[in-house]
Copies of this chain bind each other. A is one copy, B any other.
Amino acid sequence: MKKNIPETRKYRLEMNDKILNSGFRDFNKFFALDNKAYIDGALPVKMKELMGLVGSMVLRCNDCIFYHIDRSISEGATKEELHEAFNIALIIGGSIVIPHLRYAFEVMEEIYAEKTDKVAQGESRLKLD
Q: Which A residues form the contact surface with B (CB < 8 A)?
A: 2, 11-12, 15-16, 18-19, 22, 24, 26-27, 29-31, 33-34, 36-38, 41-43, 47-48, 50-52, 54-56, 58-64, 78, 80-81, 83-99, 101-102, 105-106, 109
* A86→B42 CA distance, assembly (Å): 13
Closest to A93 in B: B94
List the B side residues contacting A33 at CB < 8 Å.
26, 29-30, 33, 91
* A85→B11 CA distance, assembly (Å): 23
List the B side residues contacting A54 at CB < 8 Å.
51-52, 54-55
**A102 and B16 contact, Cβ closer than 8 Å, known pairs A27-B90, A90-B94:** yes
